Structure 1
Amino acid sequence: MAIIVLSHGSRHPAAAGAVEELARATEDLTGEVTRAAYLDFTAPTLADAALTLALAGETQATVVPLLFTEGYHARVDVPTVAAEASELTGVDLRVAPVLGTGSDIAALLAARVHDPSAHLVIYSVGSSNAQANAAVERLAVRVGDLTGQSTSCIFATKAAGTPYGLAGVDAQCATHGSAEVLPLFVAPGLLLDLLEPRGVHRIGKTYDGGVPEPLGAALAPIVAARARGGAPGVVHARHSGQVAPVRFPLRGHATSVTVRN
């Protein structure tokens, strides 16, 4: 079944290229036709990507949201645009679970650690949803369990609390002497670039001269696992005009709502 990786989208000029690279890596890994789509800021939309697949003869596709938490985008935006895209194009879209903050993401972050003696900072976008932020905090604990290092998380946005952004990372450096930043980002973004103004070499020797890399194409095995149903909860957005069941994981449980097409 074809795969669509669905990104939030960004105004950052390098973001779309990184998502496209992830789509290609996923296609190489799975052998399935894989396309990129975006919720905002960038084309193609999910409907555009689904139409491209329909014109190529595909009748079904799995949508993998490139989101780490079950915030508003995952719970509302993704099911809505999937239902609309299915109705417009006739492609039966199955929405897979988000990337999440589970053991596979923790292992990927742990494998990227360069300095085994540094305090580790998980740097995430952050949310106004306290449950979403708590999921990232639990992820930091998982990474610490895997590496044996102290960990914390800093959010890029004020809505998630203070200190945040570069000031938050500076505070961690002041507390721990030095820190290695592990971005919980799929692609380059303006919020990740916030680490640049005073030089990220202040954060740790690993990052002299540049902002830490987002996860990018290294996420391909996790995307493939989500596309295969590697976590509980899926969404089926059908174009039949009937009421379609929509299921997504919320706080570890499958929750059902309905979308009327």
Structure 2
Amino acid sequence: MFETIAVTTDARGVATLTLNRADKHNAMSAQMITDLTQAAHQLGTDDAVRVVVLTGAGKSFCAGGDLGWMQSQMAAESETRFVEARKLAEMLQALNTLPKPLIGAIHGNAFGGGVGLASVCDVAIGVDTVKMGLTETKLGLIPATIGPYVIARMGEARARRVFMSARVFEAAEAVELGLLARIVPAADLNDAVEAEVLPYLACAPGAVASAKQLVRQLGPRIDDAVIDHTIRELVDRWETEEAKEGIGAFFEKRKPAWISKV
């Protein structure tokens, strides 16, 4: 059914949504964005599903946006860029508002958009070897469409420590920043996720959905106006000389012009 993700559901109604581009470190391509959006809608309307676990195949959870997809945006017309940026933003919002508990099993590194995916989970458990980072500014870009979710998770003060610097940080700091609820050895990840899942199976599904909707309404505002603003910010950055230089340097395997020669 899906090209870039896998979805399975057990007899209890626990669905596992797996990012399935292991050879690309689960980088988000245009197809993955579409697949995730469709999966979120399907899982959200399936009465048999009680809880959703989000994880990834292979070594990484998610390396962020697929660079090939980003490079194609550089060559696209402005209207096309808006369409593609909106698809990304709508995918994140579909997962963020999923009317089922969303548990992140962060088994490997998460960068850029991968941090965004962790941030839309209701709780994210990571292995103690995970590394994370908002690496967009290294490419002349900014964490725009993921920004509302990252800041809602971390708060502005903590977000400012890592939002602009592209600094990669360890699992323990990810807990301190609020991105991960806790970290465990890799061998214990499944048990830790199961401990998060089990309480929901004793709760009324409709009440869980209503409670999740309420907490989202009471939290930081992430509405159409905010989402539209982040889309414009992303498209504007795609059109800058810095973005052209940063993405060009990546594909040409050289350092971008702004890195000091000293």
TM over 0.5: no
Which is richer in helix?
2
Task: For CA contacts below 8 A with separation 6 or more, give which structure has more relative contact order.
Answer: 1
Question: What is the TM-score of this pair, normalised by structure 1?
Answer: 0.31
Which is richer in strand?
1
Question: What is the TM-score of this pair, normalised by structure 2?
Answer: 0.31
